[in-house]
Amino acid sequence: MADAKIYVQVNKFAVKDIFDAKYKAKAITVMQKAAENAVKGKLTTDAPKEKGAKGWSLDGSLVSLSPDKAGKKLEAKVSMSISTWPGKSIKAMPSGTAAMAIPSADKVDSGDVEAVAEAAVESAMKSATKYMETNAP
């Protein structure tokens, strides 16, 4: 069973601070999907059927997403926690950031918000997947 994949339970992301609440639900969906897509490979989101199986649990939060003070960049910061599954003992806390140029703070649209939230999760998932692939749960 050398090709057995390590299970990762991706929990629903939280949003701590976003500049406009109307983008919150879509940001959660995009972040969730980005984290699940990053888990492909040696890891899987398919729950194990064996009794006593072990894996990882991944929690994430959008710490902040807003235009910078000058209104020229949209910035996002994400933090995550990797804990054992089913035991919930925290083992790692990766984080990621992303930014993109915008014309002005009042011209931000949902596509911009989704792109920067997704990029921040992808940034955090680089170290998260590496940790989960190289360490036993």
Two tokens at 63? Answer: 């710490």
Output the CA angle 8-11-16, nearest 5 degrees: 135
**Closest residue by Cα to residue 96 from 121, 68, 73, 132:** 121
State residue 1's pLDDT score.
37
Structural element, H or E, at residue 73:
strand 73-85
pTM of the model: 0.93
- Residues in contact with 40: Cβ distance below 8 Å, sequence separation at least 6, in sequence order: none
What domains sit in the chain, N to C, each tagged with a CATH number?
A: 6-47+54-134 (3.40.50.10610)
pLDDT beneath 50, residues of the chain: 1-2
